């Protein structure tokens, strides 16, 4: 028997309940020093400990440990805490894989595993978490593809897989989640968007800094009435900006209600003239179209909230329209290469 196993057996021998034994295993696998784990599990529902949340029957419904420097892993034993509604393990030193056993937590609503050193693939079994609202596995070292089974989580509100090493296509099933509000895919190696993005509750969509290829075309964006931020910058996307953006502007609730505040399409291979509707969006604050293949004259600007405008390194011609000068005092950053 190894020294570590012997030590674990000795500590667990002093536990006085099944729950204590289970919690000791969990805490030690998370990387907690053995003495601290031994003390904490004696009465985990005590208000002294901010790491556990319990219901009226003493069942553990929440677990939060952040900032632990000692190496650890995501314990499979978590699946035995069937009343768990949230798991917060952000910013630790957890390594190895995210275990498929977590898919057995049928009451789980929030799973936060960001800023660790987790590897392997994102388990398809997480698609069984029917009550899940938040899934954050950002800033790890996950590889493989985004499992299409995540599209089965109909109530999901936040999905953050950014800052990993994910590849392949973004699943169509994920881009049809009707209640998803935040979808963060940036800083991976993803290669393709689905042909249709139909998420009526979506507010933030960031797929920047990937290897996305293909054409942004008419009809790709559907029912994105609440979209406030769209970032597809630093990819290899092609197509007519008019076809893509005009379809976006045609969403009357966005055009009239002015929902869109930030649009980043810079550092792609988009072509064509900038459609006039884009610079008429009432609440647009941030627009970056630089480093594409755009041409033609800059249309009139009536977006009164616009403070950042980047158009440089394109093929734009002509002079700045008179409407630009009426808004010149609003700008915090201007980058363009057309004559004044």
pLDDT at residue 269, rounded to an integer: 97
Alpha carbon of 247 to those of 225, 251, 277, 304: distances in Å?
Answer: 12, 7, 10, 21
Domain residue extents for the chain? 1-42, 225-340
CB atoms within 10 A of CB 326: 13
CATH 3.40.640.10 for domain 225-340, yes or no, is no
pLDDT at residue 217, rounded to an integer: 77
pLDDT at residue 8, rounded to an integer: 46
Q: H or E segment at 159?
A: strand 158-160
Query: Nearest to residue 260, comparing CAs of 272, 275, 245?
Result: 245
Whole-model pTM: value is 0.91
Q: Is the Cα dihedral 322, 325, 330, 335 positive or negative?
A: positive
Mean pLDDT by 10 residues, the chain (340 residues): 47 60 91 86 79 90 91 94 96 94 96 97 96 98 98 98 98 96 98 93 96 87 84 96 76 55 96 91 92 94 90 91 80 64
């Amino acid at each position: 028997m190894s020294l570590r196993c012997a030590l674990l057996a000795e500590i667990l021998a002093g536990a006085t309940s099944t729950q204590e034994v289970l919690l000791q295993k969990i805490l030690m696998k998370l990387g907690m020093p053995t003495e601290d784990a031994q003390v904490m599990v004696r009465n985990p529902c005590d208000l002294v400990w901010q790491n556990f949340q319990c219901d009226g029957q003493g069942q553990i419904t929440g677990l939060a440990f952040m900032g632990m420097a000692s190496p650890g892993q995501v314990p499979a034993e978590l699946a035995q805490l069937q009343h768990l509604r949230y798991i917060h393990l952000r910013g630790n030193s957890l390594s190895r894989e995210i275990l498929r056993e977590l898919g057995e937590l049928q009451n789980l609503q929030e799973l936060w595993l960001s800023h660790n050193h987790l590897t392997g693939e994102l388990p398809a079994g997480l698609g069984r978490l029917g009550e899940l609202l938040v899934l954050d596995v950002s800033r790890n070292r996950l590889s493989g593809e985004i499992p299409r089974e995540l599209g089965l989580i109909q109530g999901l509100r936040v999905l953050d897989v950014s800052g990993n090493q994910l590849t392949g296509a973004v699943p169509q099933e994920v881009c049809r989640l009707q209640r998803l509000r935040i979808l963060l895919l940036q800083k991976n190696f993803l290669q393709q968007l689905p042909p249709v993005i139909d998420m009526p509750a979506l507010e933030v969509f960031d797929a920047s800094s990937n290897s996305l290829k293909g054409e942004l075309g008419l009809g790709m964006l559907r029912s994105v009435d609440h979209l406030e931020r769209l970032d597809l910058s630093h990819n290899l996307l092609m197509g007519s900006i008019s076809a893509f953006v005009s379809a976006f502007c045609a969403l009357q609730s966005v055009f009239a209600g002015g929902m869109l505040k930030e649009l980043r399409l810079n550092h792609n291979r988009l072509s064509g003239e900038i459609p006039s509707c884009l610079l008429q969006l009432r609440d647009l604050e941030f627009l970056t179209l630089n480093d594409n293949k755009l041409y033609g004259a800059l249309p009139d600007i009536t977006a009164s909230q616009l403070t950042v405008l980047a158009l440089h390194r394109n093929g734009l011609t002509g002079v700045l329209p008179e409407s630009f000068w009426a808004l010149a005092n609003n700008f915090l950053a201007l980058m363009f290469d057309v004559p004044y």
